[in-house]
Amino acid sequence: MTAAEELIRRLRTASNAAIAARDADAVAGFMAPDVIVRVSGGPVLRGRAANRAAFAAQMAEPAFRGYVRTTERVEPHADPLVLTERGRWVGRWQAAAGMHEQLGTYVAEWRHDGVGWLIHAETYVSGR
């Protein structure tokens, strides 16, 4: 595993921790200003501010228990400043009948901007 691949895995773990802490600012800090996120069964969120607002709204819901994204692989590109992360995700909400889970797969494009790695695009797909 390359140092960049290892770093992406650590960044994803830190992003998960920010979600668990209900810190929308920290979650948005992993994203490029022009990030595009395609939410499974939901909207396309364009820009860091829109994604921060979406996370803040979910985090304000008492039933929201968070998202965990688990990296399965990180793929290098010919351009060393671009990496693709693929993995599985699960979202959890506490419902009256018990814990509700939504899960699926995701792909994320990470780019190094000269200072650090940021997410430029993510796509989340529901299903097992």
| 3 state DSSP class of 54 | helix
The SS3 of residue 40 is: coil
Average pLDDT over residues 26-53: 96
Tell me what the pLDDT averaged over the chain comes to: 94
Q: Which domain holds residue 27?
A: 3-126
Express each pLDDT in 43-97 by its tens digit: 899 999 999 999 999 999 999 999 999 999 999 999 999 999 999 999 999 988 8
Cα–Cα distance for residue pair 78/84, rounded to 1 Å:
12
The bridge status of strand 31-38 relative to strand 44-46 is antiparallel
128 pLDDT more than 80:
no
Distances (CA, A) of 102 to 27, 87, 125, 127, 128: 20, 15, 10, 8, 9
The answer to whether the beta carbons of residues 110 and 118 sit under 8 Å apart is yes
CATH of the domain at 10: 3.10.450.50
Nearest of 85, 90, 93 to residue 126 by alpha carbon: 90
Domain count of the chain? 1
Residue 126 — pLDDT band, cuts 50, 70, 90? very high
